[in-house]
Structure 1
Amino acid sequence: MKGSVRMGRVLGVPLRLHWTVPLLVVLFGYGLGSRTLPAGVPDQSNATYTLAGLAGALLLLASLLAHEAAHAVTARRKGIPVKSITLWALGGMTEMDRPRAADAAFLVAVSGPLTSLIVGAAAFGAGIGLDAISSWQVPAAVLLWLGWVNGLLAVFNLLPAAPLDGGRVVQAVMWWRTGDRDRAERAAARSGQVLGMLLIAVGWISVLYGVWSGLWLAVIGFFVLIVAGAERQRARMAPALRGVRAADAMSTPVETCQDWLTVERCIEDVALRAHHSMLPVIDFGGHPSGLLHLPRLARIPAQQRETLRARDVATPLSQGATCAPDDLLEDVLEKLSPGSGMRILVIEGQRLVGIITARDISRIVQRHALRGTEGR
C-alpha cells in the first residue's frame, strides 16, 4: 500500500504501517479518553483519562495486528506465500498469494475473526475480573471497551461480503460446493458492492442527522465498494486469462529509449511518437535497465532537459513488473504490485522481447467473450 513504511517483521512476515495509523490512534484514544471513560468511570483526572485512552488505542492496534497475524500464520501453514502485513486507519490487510484450495481459503478467512473473538473475550473477562477484585476501575473499563470493540470487529468482519472475511468464508464454501472458483468470487464481490453502497448510504444519512461518526462508516463503505469492484472485475477476467502465456499476450515490437540520451533527445526522438505512457530504457548492451514514465518527463523543467540523462529520471527495473515469455499471465497479474500499474515488461534472458498493457489484457478478454465462453 502506498504511503506505508516498513517497521520490522512479525512472525517472520514484513510489517508495514500506513501514515494513517497515528490518525487511528488519536481518534480512538480521544473518543475513549474524552467520552467513554468519563461516562463509565467519573471523577478521574484529565491525565488519567488521556493516558488510559492512549493505552486503549494502542491495545486496539495490537489486537488488529493479532487479527492479521492469524491470517498470515494460517496461510503459511497451508503453504500460501505471505508478502506483508499492513496496518492502516481502516484496520489491516495481509498481502498473500491466492489459496489453491477451498479448505485453505476457508481456514485463512475464518482465522482472523476467530482471533478477534478470542482477544475480545479475554479482554472482557479480564476487565470483569479486575473490576471485581481491585479498585482499578479505569484499567478495567479500558479492558471492557477493548473486549466490546474486538467483538464488534469480529462480527463486522464476518458479514458475507468481500473483501471482508465473511465474504471470503462464503466464497470458500461456495467454491467447495460448486467447484467453480470464479463464480464464487463473483458472487462474493457482488455482495461486497451491495454492502459498500449500504454503508455509504447509512453513513451519509447519519451525518445529515448530526451523527458525525457516520462519516467513518461512509469511508469504510467506499473502500469496500472499490475493492469489491476490482475483485469482481478480476473474477470476470480469470477464465479468459487461464492458461495464457505472457508471450501470447505481449505486444511487439517495443519502443525503447537509450538510457544515455538526454531527456530532450528522448522526448524528441522517442516519446513524442510512443504508443504507451511508459518507455523502457536500455543500456549500451541493449539490456533493459529501467522505465520512463512520460507524465514525469513532461514535468521536467525545460532548462534541465539538456543536462539530465534518461537514466537519471528512470525508475529502476527492479521496481517495475517483469516476467518471462513462458510465465502464465494469470500468475503474473497475481504477483503484480498494486502501485506498479498494468504495464509488464517481458524479458527473455537479458533481452526485452515484449510489453503487456491493459489494452493487451482487454483484447484477450474480448476474444474470449466472442467465443461465447465467458463466465457470467
Structure 2
Amino acid sequence: MTAKKGLKIASLAGIPIYVSWSWWFFAALIMVVFRPTFSQALPDASTAWTWAVAAFFVLIMFGTVLIHELAHALAAISFRWKVNEVTLNFWGGATIYEHSSTGKEQTPLRSLTVAIVGPISNLVIAGAAWLLLQVLLDPSGTAQVLLTITVWTNLLIGIFNLLPGHPLDGGRVVESSVWAATGSRARGMRAAGWSGRVIVLLLFVGGVLVPLLQTGELSPFTLVIIVLLGAMLWQAASAAIKTAEAQLLAERLTIIELMTPVQTVLSHASISELIPLLNGAGPGREYQQLPIAVLDLNEHNGHEVLVGIVDSGALASVPRSAWNLPVSTVSRTVNPGAQVHSSDTVEHLFTTFMEFPNEVIAVIDETQVPHRILGIINPETLAGRLNA
C-alpha cells in the first residue's frame, strides 16, 4: 500500500508504519558512503561482497531506527495516548502521537518518558552489539565489522538525540524540565526551541569551522550534510519558539476572550429559519457575520452539542425555492467531542487541540443546566490572532 507519506510496510498494535520515499535515498547514500569503509576493513573481500555488507548495514540501520521509533510509540501507548503513525525518513524517523481524553493526563514526567526511551533503545542496541563482539570466535571477519559499526552508529544516534534542543529527543527533556519547574509547557517548549538553535550553531562550529581552522580542508559531503541537518533543526526549533510564544500570549487570556461568539440554530431547522439570523447587509455581504453554529440536543440531559457550522458559501448558493431544505445541507460537520468549558484553562485548550488537530472547538457554558454553546475556537483563526 502506498501513500503520499510513503510505503506502508506493517501495522503494530493498530499503528501504521511507513517508509517515506526519502528513506530510499538515505539507504542508497549509506551504501555509497560506507562501502569504502567496508572495503578497507575487509581487504580480502570482493567488491560484490563489500556491496552486500553495505546493503546489510542498511538493514541494520533500518532496524535501529524502527526500534527507536517503536520505543516512543509503545511508551505513548502505555499512557493510553493515541499514536497515529510511525514513519522512517531521510533524517531517521518520526512518531506522531497525541494526547487522548481517554488516556492518562499529560505530565512533564510522562512526556519525558516517551521522549527518552528512543535514545535509550539505541544505547541498549549498542550495548548488545558490544557484548556480541566479546564472544566472537573470529575477530576479523564480516560479523566483527558489522557489529563494531553497529556499536558506534547506535552510540552516535543515541547521544545525538539526547542533545538538549528541539526537535531532538533531548529537547523534550528540556521542555519537560522547564514545564515541571514553571508549570507552563509553553515555557518549556520555548526553552527547548532556543536550545535547539544553540545546538545548530555548535554543530556548525564543530563540524565546519573547527576542521577548516585545523586542516584548511572540509569534505563537500560533510558540508552538505551539516547544512541540510542544520537547516532542518533550525527550522523546527524556530517553529517551536513561534508556537510557544503564541501559547504564552494565549495563556494571558481566558477561554471566553479567545473564542468567537456564535449564533445558533438546531440541526432539524430549515434554511428559512436561518434568515432572521442574517444581518441583511446586501447581496454578497449578508453572510459576513458571526458564525452560525448548528446544534443537536442531548436526548438524556438536554445539553447543547455542536455538530456543524453553517457554510456561508454554500448558503449563498441556495435559491429561495430551496429554503425548505435542512440546515445540514449548508453546514460543515464538526466533531462533537471537540469541546472545552468556558472555565477551563488555556493549557487545557491546547491539549484539546492536540487531541483534535484542525478541528473547531466548541466552548460550553457548564454553569447552566442544560449546558449551552457560547462560541467556537477555530485553530486557524486563533493562530492568526496570536501571530498577528
TM-score, normalised relative to structure 1: 0.69
- Residues 41-60 of structure 1: matches in 2 within 5 Å? 41-60=42-61
Which residue identity is paired with 2:38? L
**Structure 2 residue 155 is matched with structure 1 residue 151:** yes
Q: What residue number does 2:378 align with?
A: 356
Distance 1:246 1:155 in 2: 45
Q: Is residue 203–residue 216 contact of structure 1 (8 Å, CA) maintained in 2? A: no
Which has the higher Rg, Structure 1 or Structure 2?
A: 2
Which residue identity is paired with 1:83? N
Q: What residue number does 1:94 align with?
A: 95
Corresponding pairs, count:
312
Residues 15-74 of structure 1: CA deviation (Å, up to 9, x unaligned): 1221111111111122222x1111112121111111111011111111111111111111
Distance 1:182 1:94 in 2: 21
**Structure 2 residue 235 is matched with structure 1 residue 249:** no
Q: What residue number does 2:122 align with?
A: 116
- Residues 64-79 of structure 1: matches in 2 within 5 Å? 64-79=65-80
Q: What residue number does 2:354 align with?
A: 334
**Structure 2 residue 296 is matched with structure 1 residue 287:** no
> Match of 2:378, SS?
strand
Say if 1:211 and 1:128 are closer, same or farther in 2 by CA, change over 3 A.
farther
**Structure 1 residue 287: Cα displacement:** 3.2
Q: What residue number does 1:188 align with?
A: 192
Q: What residue number does 1:238 align with?
A: 247
Q: Identity over aligned residues, as a percent? A: 23
**Structure 1 residue 78: Cα displacement:** 2.5
Which residue identity is paired with 1:334? M
Which residue identity is paired with 2:328? H
**Structure 1 residue 94: Cα displacement:** 1.1
Moved more, 204-213 or 169-178: 204-213
**Structure 2 residue 20 is matched with structure 1 residue 18:** yes
Q: Is residue 5–residue 18 contact of structure 2 (8 Å, CA) maintained in 1? A: no
Which residue identity is paired with 2:120? L
Distance 2:182 2:34 in 1: 46
Say if 1:85 and 1:129 are closer, same or farther in 2 by CA, change over 3 A.
same
Q: What residue number does 1:85 align with?
A: 86
- Residues 104-183 of structure 1: matches in 2 within 5 Å? 104-130=110-136, 133-134=137-138, 137-183=141-187
> Match of 1:86, SS?
strand
Say if 1:232 and 1:323 are closer, same or farther in 2 by CA, change over 3 A.
farther
Say if 1:172 and 1:326 are closer, same or farther in 2 by CA, change over 3 A.
closer
> Match of 2:135, SS?
helix
**Structure 1 residue 2: Cα displacement:** 5.8
What residue ranges of structure 2 are gaps of 5+ in the alignment? 100-104, 264-282, 290-310, 319-324, 342-347, 364-374
Distance 1:54 1:246 in 2: 58
Residues 161-195 of structure 1: CA deviation (Å, up to 9, x unaligned): 11111121132233323433332221111101222
Which residue identity is paired with 1:363? R
> Match of 1:6, SS?
strand
**Structure 1 residue 124: Cα displacement:** 2.7
**Structure 1 residue 204: Cα displacement:** 5.8
**Structure 1 residue 238: Cα displacement:** 2.1
Q: Is residue 339–residue 352 contact of structure 2 (8 Å, CA) maintained in 1? A: no
Q: What residue number does 2:29 align with?
A: 27
Distance 2:360 2:187 in 1: 31
Say if 1:5 and 1:200 are closer, same or farther in 2 by CA, change over 3 A.
farther
Q: Is residue 250–residue 346 contact of structure 1 (8 Å, CA) maintained in 2? A: no
Which residue identity is paired with 2:135? G
If asked which structure has higher relative contact order (CA below 8 Å, sep 6+), I would say 1
Q: Is residue 39–residue 47 contact of structure 2 (8 Å, CA) maintained in 1? A: no
Which residue identity is paired with 1:55? F
Residues 304-335 of structure 1: CA deviation (Å, up to 9, x unaligned): xxxxxxxxxxxxx89xx998565774245324
> Match of 2:128, SS?
helix
Which residue identity is paired with 2:194? R
Say if 1:144 and 1:251 are closer, same or farther in 2 by CA, change over 3 A.
farther
What residue ranges of structure 1 are gaps of 5+ in the alignment? 254-268, 292-316, 367-376
**Structure 1 residue 199: Cα displacement:** 3.0
Distance 1:347 1:183 in 2: 26
Say if 1:336 and 1:246 are closer, same or farther in 2 by CA, change over 3 A.
farther
What is the aligned-residue RMSD (CA, Å)? Answer: 4.0
Distance 1:161 1:90 in 2: 16
**Structure 1 residue 8: Cα displacement:** 2.2
Distance 2:206 2:113 in 1: 31
Moved more, 83-92 or 179-188: 179-188
Q: Is residue 189–residue 228 contact of structure 1 (8 Å, CA) maintained in 2? A: yes
Which residue identity is paired with 2:28? V
Say if 1:290 and 1:128 are closer, same or farther in 2 by CA, change over 3 A.
farther
Which residue identity is paired with 1:61? F
Say if 1:53 and 1:331 are closer, same or farther in 2 by CA, change over 3 A.
same
Distance 1:21 1:60 in 2: 11
